[in-house]
Amino acid sequence: MNKKWWKEGVVYQIYPRSYKDSTGNGVGDLRGIIEKLDYIQSLGVTIIWLNPIYTSPNDDNGYDISDYQNIMSEFGTMRDFDELLSGLHRRGIKLIMDLVVNHSSDEHNWFIHSKESKNNRYRDYYIWKDPAYDKTGTIMPPNNWGSVFGGPAWEYDDTTNQYFLHIFSKKQPDLNWDNQVLRNEIFSMMNWWFDKGIDGFRMDVINMISKYPDFPDYNNNIAWLDNKTFMNGPNLHKYLKEMYEKSLKKYDVMTVGECFGLPLEEGKKMAGEDANELSMVFQMEHVDLGSGTYGKWDIVPWKLTSLKDIFNKWYVAMEECNGWNSIFLMNHDQPRSVSKFGNDKKYRVESAKMLATMKLTLKGTPYIYQGEEIGMTNIAIDTISDYKDLEILNHYKEAIERGEKHEKLLSAYNYKGRDNARTPMQWDAEENAGFTTGTPWLKVNPNHKEINVINAENDANSVLHYYRKMIALRNANEALIYGTFEIVDYSNEKIFAYFRKLGNTVFFIMLNFSENKVRFTLPDSIAHSKVTVIISNYPKPETMQPDSEYELQPYEAIVFKGALKM
Ligand code: ISL
């Protein structure tokens, strides 16, 4: 397996709207990020992923782009961007941008022209279809696909009497990747950013760019699960290879493709070492744990063994193709990791550190989402108008019409809603958490009085200091990057324990995912050996000679390294 900077790096994801507002208009911006560059560097991270900062009417917070080569005015100017990029590079930090090319905004010039007539040169940049008709002759969308954000995935346009496809909101029409001219426009736009000096792209819903050509109806109404419609279509790999040839190959860059509903085999074809497609993918199976048969808002308990299964099968798959994984527990679309996978009440600090230990010791590039490094939690919202996410707002409207109960819906949103991740970054205990001097665009979590960067800096036992140590540990140990991964006591529902091995170096990691004390039988190679305790979230001696059994404290994480009898 080849060594690469992006395998050895640690990524910090910044959601600019919620990071730091430098103007007082309540919206985070590029100059706000520039103010925080020293803080970012102090974490030890080496790569930043910025959520979309391009010109956008913000129907979906920048995931609806109207100009791919300009900066959203709320966020600043291209000069601010250039300053941010050079400020990062000066500090030895790379920058990857969000590439949102499954769809554009309906306010993009391409779409404005595309709508005008059936035979203009932009018509075929988007997916237009004739209406279908039911038995009574009533006009119907071309098929039964629903939009991820509610309602049908087709919008009728009476200028030309056709429907256009929008898998997301109707202000996010899907681009037609079957059109070579459109593809070339996208590749040259990518090259323009690479020539400016950026270091890669995170690619939004990239496995949706190739649709099944006959646009078949779903077999069921759970879109993500149906693989023969708009995901993983027949030309996916052809288009990604073309992107590689016409753009990626010319630069030393990193790419990560966001892929819902991605079969392992497809993932291998994308991220394998010789695939000539992407550096890695975000498979989403583990963040989907806790969703029932009816989808995201159907909340069911999740099991530790399922989490192990997912990490393990993607580990094995990537070993088979010499590929590389991404390791993340949340992003801007997911609830806070400590609220979902840890315990944000009694054991917030312990469990946030335990999750940090896992993220930085699994095999793959780790991603930290802003605020995760101080153990930020979900927010409790009890008024629907305090939510700003269109996914929640659209779902609420439809669900209430169907007769679902307000309380049940709010509790689902409080647990899983995307706004949990998007509340402003908590810098201090002051009003608005030091995020803005104005009115924040989304509520600040009231727990910022306790959970904030200043408090964390001043507390030697904080999640923040622990993150710094974990990042430094991973950066300094090749075995934690390139070493093999081997789970011990697989069926244990409370403890996730595993080896990382490279050459003579062995790490043994034990993570307690429960609020109980748990006795764990150590593998023979560890029991009765003299081992170094590299790090733990509880006070521990520097070396130990553990018995055959080790008792873990609630949410304990402990990493042994040592002269082990292998
Ligand atoms: O969880 C989801 C499905 O219910 C969505 O939030 C999912 O994350 C999304 O559909 C795919 O994500 C990406 O594309 C979207 C954008 O809204 C997300 O923020 C982005 O990460 C459309 O561009």
**Residue closest to 374 by CA, chosen among 474, 455, 287:** 455
Helix (H) or strand (E) holding 498: strand 495-502
Map out the domains of the chain as residue ranges: 8-99+325-476, 109-165, 180-304+317-323, 482-561
Euclidean distance between CA atoms 53 and 60, whole angstroms? 12
For 259, phi then psi, to 5°, come to: -135, 105
**Does 205 sit in the ligand 1 pocket, CB within 6 Å?**
yes
Cα–ligand 1 centroid distance for 426 (angstroms): 24
Euclidean distance between CA atoms 263 and 227, whole angstroms? 9
- The CATH number of 8-99+325-476 is 3.20.20.80
pLDDT reading at 316 higher than 90? yes
Tokens of 395: 């779902």
Q: What is the pLDDT of residue 1?
A: 82
Contact 30, 84 (CB under 8 A): yes
Euclidean distance between CA atoms 520 and 326, whole angstroms? 29
Q: What is the pLDDT of residue 221?
A: 56
The predicted-structure confidence for 509-551, as pLDDT tens digits, reads as follows: 999 999 999 999 999 999 988 899 999 999 999 999 999 999 9
For 397, phi then psi, to 5°, come to: -60, -50
Which residue from 58, 105, 205 has its CB within 8 A of the most atoms of ligand 1, so it is best to mutate?
205
Q: What is the pLDDT of residue 219?
A: 77
Cα–ligand 1 centroid distance for 71 (angstroms): 21
Tally of residues, the chain? 566
Euclidean distance between CA atoms 266 and 363, whole angstroms? 20
- The CATH number of 109-165 is 3.90.400.10
Bridge partner list, 531: 544
Residue 157 annotated as catalytic: no
Classify residue 368 by burial, with Cβ atoms within 10 Å: 0-12, 13-18, 19+.
buried
- Alpha helices by DSSP H, listed for 53-200, are 78-90, 109-114, 180-196
Q: Does domain 482-561 have CATH number 2.60.40.1180?
A: yes
Q: What is the pLDDT of residue 227?
A: 67
Euclidean distance between CA atoms 552 and 519, whole angstroms? 6
Say which residues have a Cβ less than 8 Å from residue 3's Cβ, sequence separation at least 6: 482
Which residue is closest in CA terms to ligand 1's atom 10? 148
> Residue 162: left if φ>0, alpha if ψ -120 to 50, beta else—which one?
beta
**Residue closest to 414 by CA, chosen among 398, 395, 430, 392:** 392
**Residue closest to 201 by CA, chosen among 250, 252, 254, 242:** 254
Which residue is closest in CA terms to ligand 1's atom 3? 148
Confidence of residue 284 (pLDDT cuts 50, 70, 90): very high
Which residue is closest in CA terms to ligand 1's atom 11? 205
Which residue is closest in CA terms to ligand 1's atom 19? 333
Cα–ligand 1 centroid distance for 538 (angstroms): 37
**Does 63 sit in the ligand 1 pocket, CB within 6 Å?**
yes
Ligand 1 atom with least separation from CA of 63: 23
Considering the chain, what is the average pLDDT of its residues? 96
The alpha carbon torsion through 193, 198, 200, 204 (nearest 10 deg) reads -60
| HEC sequence for 307-364 | HHHHHHHHHHHHHHCCCCEEECCCCCCCCCHHHHCCCCCCCHHHHHHHHHHHHHHCCC
Euclidean distance between CA atoms 55 and 426, whole angstroms? 26
Average pLDDT over residues 378-398: 96
Which residue from 204, 389, 395 has its CB within 8 A of the most atoms of ligand 1, so it is best to mutate?
204
Contact 207, 259 (CB under 8 A): yes
Q: To the nearest whole percent, how much of the chain has pLDDT over 90?
A: 95
Q: What is the pTM of this model?
A: 0.97
The predicted-structure confidence for 68-116, as pLDDT tens digits, reads as follows: 999 999 999 999 999 999 999 999 999 999 999 999 999 999 999 999 9
Which residue from 333, 387, 398 has its CB within 8 A of the most atoms of ligand 1, so it is best to mutate?
333
Average pLDDT over residues 211-234: 80
pLDDT reading at 560 higher than 70? yes
Looking at 64, 204, 372, 373, which residue is catalytic?
A: 204
Which residue is closest in CA terms to ligand 1's atom 20? 204
The predicted-structure confidence for 506-517, as pLDDT tens digits, reads as follows: 999 999 999 999
Which residue is closest in CA terms to ligand 1's atom 18? 333
Q: What is the pLDDT of residue 7?
A: 98
Residue 106 annotated as catalytic: no
Looking at 155, 258, 372, 419, which residue is catalytic?
A: 258
The predicted-structure confidence for 141-168, as pLDDT tens digits, reads as follows: 999 999 999 999 999 999 999 999 999 9
pLDDT reading at 135 higher than 80? yes
**Does 204 sit in the ligand 1 pocket, CB within 6 Å?**
yes
Tokens of 529: 């050996």
**Does 296 sit in the ligand 1 pocket, CB within 6 Å?**
yes
Q: What is the pLDDT of residue 225?
A: 58
Cα–ligand 1 centroid distance for 357 (angstroms): 27
